[in-house]
Amino acid sequence: MSSRLPPQPGERVARERELKFTFDGRPVQALAGDTIGSALYAAGQRTFSRSFKYHRRRGLMCCSGQCPNCLVAVDGEPGVRACTEPAREGAEVEHLNATPNLELDVMSAVDAFGGPFTPPGFYYKTFIRPRRLWPLYEKVLRHAAGLGRLPREQHERRWRTEYRRRHADVLVVGGGLAGLSAAAAAAEAGADVVLVDDGVEPGGRLLWEGGHERARELTVRAREAGVELLTGASALGHFDGLVAVWQGETLHQIRARQHVYATGAVEQPLVFAGNDLPGVMLSGGALRLAALYAVVPGRRAVVATTCDRGLETALALADTGVQLVAVTDLRQERSALGAALEERGVEVLQGWTVLAANGRREVRGVVLGRPDDEAARLERSCDLLLVSGGDAPATSLCAQAGASTVYDPVLGQFRLDVLPPAVRAAGQLAGFGEEDAAAASGERAGRAAASAIGLGQGELAPEQPPLDGRAGVCALPPAAATDGSRGRAFVCLCEDVTAKDIPRSVAEGYDSIELCKRYTTVTMGPCQGKMCQLASIRLMARETGSSIEQVGGTTARPPWASVPLGALAGRPFEPAKRSAIHGRHRELGARIQWAGDWRRAYDYGDPEGEALAVHESAGLIDVSTLGKLLVRGADAARFLDLLYPNRLSTLKPGRIRYGVLTSDAGRIFDDGTVGRLDQETFYVTTTSSGAGAVEQWFSWWLADWRLDVQLTDVTQALAAVNIAGPRAREILERLTDLDCSPEAFGYLDARQGSVASVPALLLRIGFVGELGYEVHYPAAYGEHVWDAILEAGAGQIRPFGLEPQRILRLQKQHILVGQDTDSESTPFGAAMPWAVKLDKEEPFIGKWALAHIAEHPAPTTLVGFTLPDGRVPTEGAVVLDAAGTAAGQVTSARHSRQLGRVIGMAWVPAALAKDGATVTILDEGSRIGASVVTEPFHDPAGELLRS
Amino acid sequence: MSFLLECPHCGIREVADFAFGGEVCKRPQDPSFRELCEYNYIRENVAGVQREWWYHRSGCRTWFLAERDTRTNEVLRIGLPGELT
């Protein structure tokens, strides 16, 4: 007997196109258009996974990507739902959570024997003694927990999240009849509309309920009206008006002015013993298998329903040739659909429900009964049990948007109550379940959304939803479910929470639904409550003697649909900055490291040797990362006088001055040099990492003071190199037309000229403590000038990296802001009182705080230190005061080959901040005596700088 | 936090485009120590409409002012300094 039905009108499979994939290594035949789940089911597979805790067999249930039963790994990626994952040629599908295989899972012993020992939180109750064994227990439990394994190593990420921001007039979530109608109507009124649907094509229920042609017509209408249709796209959550949508490898962040939710409803399972056996399926699941994939869901079916949905499905399946053994309808009144079934000779049991499903590997028979009559019992054999516990409106996304929900006793479900502004609901979510009513409600919502933003006709009066035939009853689990006498009855399939666990949770004091959720983890698994929230609320109500309204629901939280962590993890955008000379550093074999946002040459393999070359001959370093600002205008000098604590207006054109920037609290936040190019033009350099912050700081004060100043950030436009060392001058002279004699171009002079025929600004600055010239020039000539200098100095000059520069500057006790200072450091504490001119009349930034700090010195001061032995203390090591208490810390420490000893900088008690004082450094348990040096270690008089 | 903000130059953008500059407070002149500390560290932090600084960091790098309801993130007005009275 074939497992495929004859061609179905709306089937998605292409029978002439076969493909093959493997399941646990075995080949599986599929048709194009199949899902992995439908192909496996057609091939006779009934067990798809083993459950989370008890390792019970689980099979297809919802066939809509909602329940956890068909989670598999595809090509190594765990947590994929087989029922919605398209079958692909050559895909390698593997089961999860069973050892050694799906058929023989050793951990299923937990199901057979573990019952009394595995209540909620059992691992905290059972595995606490002896306490010293907990690490071992934990290891075992961790191994047992979770579904699936990630590969330990992944050499290359197969995909990278694309982020897309989309602004729209109207966002419609849900592409069923109502959603498509809403999107088309809004777009026809002139709105820019995005429609999000999780199916492979829009249409929702229409696609498997015989309306596929209508769905396709509506899709064409929506497309022609200009709707952007996102299919295979799951709305994850509604965050502050922004809806996150995961589609393939793209995370859309959609912000719309109006939202229409048409998310439909989720068919609810029933709670009874054995309700998780393979072969127990939601009625809609079986219908989808038959209608979309032409797969025979079973031969002999029993249907247990609480509403018309199950009866509709029963009729539809009867048409495909499934034999209906019996139909139970928990409602007392026979509906028209029930009568229609009876006319076809089906046994319809009104007021009955299912008490238990029996079978070892899959369902073989059922026990039916009446909740109100203990004696009423019927047994039927079958290979398929279809259940329908009513359609729960999918309110979660709306609730995240701010809607309130209310329990509707007629529907037996929670439905939407009050909607927030600019949010509308349509279709079954809003109570319009019948086809034409759903379409009309969508049209109305779409037009209303458009008219709310001034498009189309005026606001339309909302219509009250009719209480349609889908009204159901509250399907309380039968008592047998909670006493466990007929076997386990599951409330939550994801986390294996049984109906017994809810009363147990209440008995232990977790008697509110929110507490019960956290204790039992009901609603917290992969289905996110879609299958279990209602049942857990019903059980909680019965157990606590409250009404369902009193129990209420748990807070709706994202994600509404499963999403790989990789979609959300990491920074969306992490650019690396590279200087214009970067390629040369790589060619020279530099070790490249991160320095803030920059990729920088850390060294070229020999940091101490590179530093030595600067002292003995010459070195060349790429300092393009420095922040560079042009400050121009009539008020430029006044502006800088207001920003810096020292005076810059007295700077003569062609001269440079060091400046430290503080906040209005007097705390250092950056430093650099200021060169005056002419009366109204200043060239400001900042630290590499502070460039952005300084530009922001300058422009902020400029916006507030509104001075006649133009600020231009030329950080990226200019490359810069520092050529330093005793032979720097002679090398530079070979490349420039400038007079480089000490008389014509002295220390702290700024000159404009050409270097290697490139126009450049040259700054004679001594950050590294030797005769040096910073050459700033257009970035386009980055490598040209670098090459020219190395060529002109061949045999005399050596490139040096960031690390040797740090040794060199430490020898001079030049601070690195952020390394030697923190957010509390002041110029006084950092031993730079000369950088503050408190007698300046201008109310400069930090003036009043610095005046206060000058009178109230901080308890610690930044000083240099040396160590007799060769050990380099850890940066961050503690400095102790006389009493042995922590009083400061080491901020920088290096070995200097030039000086032949270890040097560093540290914050020490102010009383010890004098030459020759001894401070104690506590470094990784050992105490080291260090000698304080307040002057630069190298060239303290600065003669080399000025040479 | 997520909302739209209008830059006076560039128009409406996601708030992630901007840097927040805090509520607008007047810089004192020759303040007492207490006034200085309040200026540096104390903010009104109103639950309601506040005037604040925004910087279009990933755009035109302009500082501007906005009046925003801190409870709803609704931006009532925006403007360049001197324009917003």
Chain B CB contacts of A696 under 8 Å are: 19, 55, 57, 61
Helix (H) or strand (E) holding A281: strand A280-282
pLDDT tens for each residue of B15-74: 989 999 999 999 999 999 999 999 999 999 999 999 999 999 999 999 999 999 999 899
Q: What is the pLDDT of residue A110?
A: 76
pLDDT tens for each residue of A604-635: 999 999 999 999 999 999 999 999 999 999 99
- Report the mean per-residue pLDDT for chain A: 92
| Assigned token pair, A142 | 């961790």
Chain B CB contacts of A716 under 8 Å are: none
State the average pLDDT over residues A789-798.
Answer: 97
Is A305 a residue whose pLDDT tops 60? Answer: yes
Interface of chain A against chain B, CB under 8 Å?
165, 167, 239-242, 255, 663-665, 692, 695-696, 699-700, 702-704, 706, 713, 843, 848-849, 852
Decide if A294 contacts A6 (C-beta within 8 A).
Answer: yes
Is A460 a residue whose pLDDT tops 90? Answer: no
Of A856, A857, A801, which is closest to residue A829 (Cα–Cα)? A857
| Assigned token pair, A207 | 């696609």
Q: What is the DSSP letter of A100?
A: B
Say how far apart CA B64 and CA A890 lie, in whole Å.
Answer: 41
Is A468 a residue whose pLDDT tops 60? Answer: no
Q: What is the pLDDT of residue A132?
A: 84
Is A459 a residue whose pLDDT tops 80? Answer: no
pLDDT tens for each residue of A563-606: 988 888 766 667 899 999 999 999 999 999 998 889 999 999 99
Say how far apart CA A826 and CA A224 lie, in whole Å.
Answer: 66
Say how far apart CA A286 and CA A280 lie, in whole Å.
Answer: 10
pLDDT tens for each residue of A19-52: 999 999 999 999 999 999 999 999 999 999 999 8
Q: What is the pLDDT of residue A486?
A: 73
Decide if A653 contacts A646 (C-beta within 8 A).
Answer: no
Q: What is the pLDDT of residue A82?
A: 96
Distance from CA of B41 to the nearest CA of A (A): 9
Q: Do A706 and B33 touch (CB under 8 A)?
A: no
Q: What is the pLDDT of residue A470?
A: 53
Q: What is the pLDDT of residue A135?
A: 83
pLDDT tens for each residue of A711-757: 999 999 999 999 999 999 999 999 999 999 999 999 999 999 999 99
Where does the pLDDT of residue A831 fall: very low under 50, low under 70, confident under 90, or very high at 90 and above?
A: very high
Where does the pLDDT of residue A173 fall: very low under 50, low under 70, confident under 90, or very high at 90 and above?
A: very high
State the average pLDDT over residues A239-265.
Answer: 94
pLDDT tens for each residue of A875-930: 999 999 888 899 999 999 999 999 999 999 999 999 999 999 999 999 988 999 99
Q: How many other C-beta atoms lie within 10 A of the C-beta of residue A113?
A: 10
Q: Do A255 and B57 touch (CB under 8 A)?
A: no
Torsion angle in degrees (nearest 10) through CA of A371, A372, A376, A380: -20
Decide if A212 contacts A206 (C-beta within 8 A).
Answer: yes
Which parts of A464-597 fold into alpha helices (H)? 479-483, 501-507, 513-520, 533-544, 548-551, 565-568, 582-587
State the average pLDDT over residues A519-538.
Answer: 90
Helical pair A607-616 and A802-811, crossing angle rounded to 10 deg: 60
Distance from CA of B82 to the nearest CA of A (A): 9
Distance from CA of A241 to the nearest CA of B (A): 7
Say how far apart CA A493 and CA A531 lie, in whole Å.
Answer: 8
Q: What is the pLDDT of residue A572?
A: 63
- Does B31 contact chain A (CB < 8 Å)? yes
Per-residue burial over A199-222, b = 16 or more CB atoms within 10 Å of its CB, e = otherwise:
bebbbbbbbbbbbbebbbebbebb
pLDDT tens for each residue of B13-27: 989 899 999 999 999
pLDDT tens for each residue of A3-28: 899 999 999 999 999 999 999 999 99
Beta bridge partners of A234: A246
Where does the pLDDT of residue A77 fall: very low under 50, low under 70, confident under 90, or very high at 90 and above?
A: confident
Q: Which of A172-176, A480-484, A871-875 has the lowest mean pLDDT?
A: A480-484
* Nearest residue of chain A to residue B18 (CA atoms): A696
Distance from CA of A248 to the nearest CA of B (A): 24
* Nearest residue of chain B to residue A841 (CA atoms): B30
Of A797, A622, A814, which is closest to residue A726 (Cα–Cα)? A797
| A14-23 vs A92-94, strand pairing mode | parallel
Helical pair A636-643 and A691-705, crossing angle rounded to 10 deg: 110
Where does the pLDDT of residue A1 fall: very low under 50, low under 70, confident under 90, or very high at 90 and above?
A: very low
**One-character DSSP codes across A461-487:** PPPPPP--TT-----PPPHHHHH-TTS
Is A145 a residue whose pLDDT tops 60? Answer: yes
Say how far apart CA A858 and CA A266 lie, in whole Å.
Answer: 66
- Does B61 contact chain A (CB < 8 Å)? yes
* Backbone region of residue B11 per phi and psi (left: phi > 0; alpha: psi in -120 to 50; beta: other values): left
Residue bearing the bigger pLDDT, A457 or A845: A845
Q: What is the pLDDT of residue A369?
A: 92
Of A408, A415, A355, A414, which is closest to residue A385 (Cα–Cα)? A355
Report the residue from A242, A696, A843 with minimal CB separation from B2. Answer: A242
Which parts of A321-388 fold into alpha helices (H)? 336-343
Long-range Cβ contacts of A649-654 (<8 Å, 24+ apart) = A651/A676, A651/A682, A652/A676, A653/A677, A653/A678, A653/A679, A654/A749, A654/A750, A654/A751
Distance from CA of B85 to the nearest CA of A (A): 14
Q: Do B29 and A703 touch (CB under 8 A)?
A: no
- Does B80 contact chain A (CB < 8 Å)? yes
HEC per residue, A889-941: EEEEEEEECCCCEEEEEEEEEHHHCCCCCEEEEEECCEEEEEEEECCCCCCCC
Q: Do A703 and B40 touch (CB under 8 A)?
A: no
> Locate tokens 């079934």: which residue?
A341
State the average pLDDT over residues A400-424.
Answer: 90
Decide if A625 contacts A600 (C-beta within 8 A).
Answer: yes
| Assigned token pair, A751 | 């000159």
Distance from CA of B67 to the nearest CA of A (A): 16
Residue type, A543: E
Interior angle at CA A690, CA A747 and CA A595, nearest 5: 95
Where does the pLDDT of residue B84 fall: very low under 50, low under 70, confident under 90, or very high at 90 and above?
A: confident
Decide if A882 contacts A934 (C-beta within 8 A).
Answer: no
Could you tell me what percent of chain A has a pLDDT over 90?
A: 77
Decide if A38 contacts A290 (C-beta within 8 A).
Answer: no
Q: Which of A129-133, A308-312, A610-614, A898-902 has the lowest mean pLDDT?
A: A129-133
Q: Do A848 and B30 touch (CB under 8 A)?
A: yes
Is A253 a residue whose pLDDT tops 70? Answer: yes
Decide if A531 contacts A269 (C-beta within 8 A).
Answer: yes
**Sign of the alpha-carbon dihedral angle for A436, A338, A266, A60:** negative
Candidates A240, A400, A697, A856, partner chain B, best to mutate (most B CBs within 10 A): A240
- Does B29 contact chain A (CB < 8 Å)? yes
* Nearest residue of chain B to residue A666 (CA atoms): B40
Distance from CA of A410 to the nearest CA of B (A): 36
State the average pLDDT over residues A490-496.
Answer: 92
Interior angle at CA A842, CA A838 and CA A846, nearest 5: 55
Per the document, the length of chain B is 85
Chain B CB contacts of A695 under 8 Å are: 61
Count of A-B CB contacts under 8 Å: 55
State the average pLDDT over residues A494-522.
Answer: 91
pLDDT tens for each residue of A364-383: 999 999 988 888 899 999 99
Report the residue from B36, B73, B81 with minimal CB separation from A703. Answer: B81
Question: Nearest 5°: phi and psi at A235?
Answer: -75, 125
Decide if A259 contacts A423 (C-beta within 8 A).
Answer: yes
